[in-house]
A and B are shown apart, each in its own frame.
Chain A
């Protein structure tokens, strides 16, 4: 029997972790001589106070949904995919190749093609560490870290060499052709005189991310493969006994994970930059870890956590613009969220479990007393 009711497990534990992270962040802001309350107001105003702010918040959230789902699906198979960053870099490469070298008639077809390209490249980049884990027992965390560095160097090499726009000094590809430009929220939701989301980078790939959430939910809880992934994650020996091949599960779970991380590129490379630049991922692969932990590896939780981190990113940019608080404060908050929801989980959970246990025993004791009377 579970010690805690489900609502406490799903809502209370992440909420308390979040509050702890928020308190420590407030202390950091106080320590550098700013007011946490004003900072919070500024962040809410900047990120959620206008459709422009929302446009940025949802743009960042789209990235984090993809990388968060990627980490979450690996967590279900009890693997820690720390290589989302590298897989997203390779996804960007896939998107760039598809957009530049295939003449697309319409953006919708280009989106399908680019998604496939991104997923394929991301999955391929995750497949090597997965194979080494499954067949040679190399620790997936170490190999995926190494692959992040190798991916960054590979992209660097290509962008100053083969893929660089001729005649340009900047390490970047040329602009993708017109038919591959995705409609932004401004194109989609502005009617006549009223222009909403003006100039914000949120685009149609947000809906692809939402669809990916639903697809991952269906995969994990409604298919045989998802069942096998969860079974393997709970107990490798039991899964083996049930005839589930560990090699197959490691490979498939990691490749789906890599594909999802890679698909982030349809948002940042195809939707926003419309060309491939160095460091386009900007750490979103790592934020996926915080998002997955916060969202308890459930697609809906990942969705909410991604929106929260989108808000933090846009709000953090506003803070850096208007106050002396640098953008790096967001990295501190992100670290605290990972620390409390991931590593110090037991610290939050322990006292809560004791509380619920004590409450239940009290209830049982009074029940017995009443029965005796």
Chain B
């Protein structure tokens, strides 16, 4: 395999890892605050649809992005209401949200656009277009560094760079701010946070809200950057892979980046079966590459390669003592 092909694979790795990363960090905020969220998939899907629909009708991708975030936040509000205010089962709420999104997006898309549950193709300003970083063309001829800069680092859409920035930002919020400290505490021992006079409910709603915003961006990326428009079930299990990446990363932001890049790399490889065969000289089953993230997660969960311990108060509704 030559250098340029490798760069191409890594380039599509970055593009495919972006939605995983955003959804994974979304889950990280929610779960670190003690709210399990298996509804990442549904929130992404709803955001993908509404961002695609609004971007198409308004012609502006930015309005689309905002609409996507709004759709995702609305579902987050349902999740918050069910799991924080009414102390319901967070897992069941997540399942309900996934189905709600899977059904509503198609029903509404059919009613608005009558194209079999999809939005029309997005073109021009209704999509996020690649951003050429400065000097990309000028530096292309510099050996090794030039192609890496021009092919791999430059030429992605706005959201890819945003996602990359979200990682250090998440780390900073989580470990260097008062809010982050309290948020982590509320996921481990909400009673202690309550005793200190900080609102458990408020913190958890804030975390669920951040989760909604990030899932919204991830969904908008699917419909307006990765592809040109919404199609039925376009999230295609990415929410669950993000969940797997979150466990793989043991709920830590930098490791979430590595896990998502790994899973993105597997997805990129699955798209190029010809290449794998050429390099390895034997055929690797495509299905195997597709399920590898899930198998790896089960192995990690089983604790055979370092144990993944979730936040201690995760999944437990907080009942204030009376």
- Name A residues whose Cβ lies closer than 8 Å to a Cβ of B: 28, 31-33, 80, 82, 132, 136-139, 141-143, 145-147, 149-150, 153-154, 156-157, 286, 289, 293, 324-326, 328-336, 338-339, 342-347, 350
A289 touches B108 (CB 8 A): no
* Complex partner residue of B294 from A137, A149, A330, A335, CB under 8 angstroms: A149
Compute how far the CA of A345 lies from the CA of B303 in the bound complex, rounded to whole angstroms: 34
B298 touches A328 (CB 8 A): no
A157 CB contacts on chain B under 8 angstroms: 285, 287-288
- Select from chain A the residue with minimum beta-carbon distance to B301: A138
B107 touches A328 (CB 8 A): yes
A32 touches B107 (CB 8 A): yes
Chain B residues touching A, majority SS: helix
B297 touches A347 (CB 8 A): no
Which of B94-102, B137-145, B155-163, B220-228 lines the interface with chain A? B94-102
A-B contact pairs, 7 of them (CB 8 A): A80-B91, A145-B243, A324-B114, A328-B107, A329-B107, A343-B96, A347-B81
User: For window 78-119 of chain B, which residues contact chain A by CB distance below 8 Å?
Assistant: 78, 81-83, 86-93, 95-100, 102-104, 106-108, 110-111, 114, 117
- Name B residues whose Cβ lies closer than 8 Å to a Cβ of A: 38, 78, 81-83, 86-93, 95-100, 102-104, 106-108, 110-111, 114, 117, 237, 240, 243-244, 247, 285, 287-288, 290-291, 294-295, 297-298, 301-303, 310
A138 CB contacts on chain B under 8 angstroms: 298, 301-303
Compute how far the CA of A145 lies from the CA of B285 in the bound complex, rounded to whole angstroms: 22
B92 touches A338 (CB 8 A): yes
Compute how far the CA of A329 lies from the CA of B104 in the bound complex, rounded to whole angstroms: 7
Known contacts A142-B247, A335-B96, then 6 further A-B pairs from the complex at CB < 8 Å, ordered by chain A residue: A32-B108, A150-B291, A339-B100, A343-B82, A343-B93, A347-B86
Given A326-B107, A335-B97, check contact A141 B91 (CB 8 Å). Answer: yes
Compute how far the CA of A267 lies from the CA of B102 in the bound complex, rounded to whole angstroms: 26
A142 touches B92 (CB 8 A): no
B89 CB contacts on chain A under 8 angstroms: 80, 342-343
Among all A-B residue pairs, the 8 with the closest Cβ atoms: A331-B103, A343-B93, A335-B99, A332-B103, A32-B111, A342-B92, A138-B301, A335-B100
Compute how far the CA of A289 lies from the CA of B102 in the bound complex, rounded to whole angstroms: 16
B288 CB contacts on chain A under 8 angstroms: 153, 157
- Select from chain A the residue with minimum beta-carbon distance to B112: A32
B86 touches A149 (CB 8 A): no
Compute how far the CA of A182 lies from the CA of B187 in the bound complex, rounded to whole angstroms: 53
Compute how far the CA of A343 lies from the CA of B98 in the bound complex, rounded to whole angstroms: 13
A326 touches B110 (CB 8 A): yes
Compute how far the CA of A128 lies from the CA of B148 in the bound complex, rounded to whole angstroms: 44
Given A80-B92, A141-B38, check contact A346 B86 (CB 8 Å). Answer: yes
A346 touches B87 (CB 8 A): yes
Q: Closest CB-CB distance, A313 to chain B, in whole Å?
A: 13
* Complex partner residue of A325 from B107, B240, B247, B301, CB under 8 angstroms: B107
A334 touches B99 (CB 8 A): yes
Most buried by B among A82, A137, A156, A343: A343
B290 touches A332 (CB 8 A): no
A147 CB contacts on chain B under 8 angstroms: 294, 298
- Select from chain B the residue with minimum beta-carbon distance to A349: B86
Q: Closest CB-CB distance, B89 to chain A, in whole Å?
A: 6
A28 touches B104 (CB 8 A): yes
A289 touches B117 (CB 8 A): no
* Complex partner residue of A146 from B83, B117, B287, B297, CB under 8 angstroms: B297
A350 CB contacts on chain B under 8 angstroms: 86
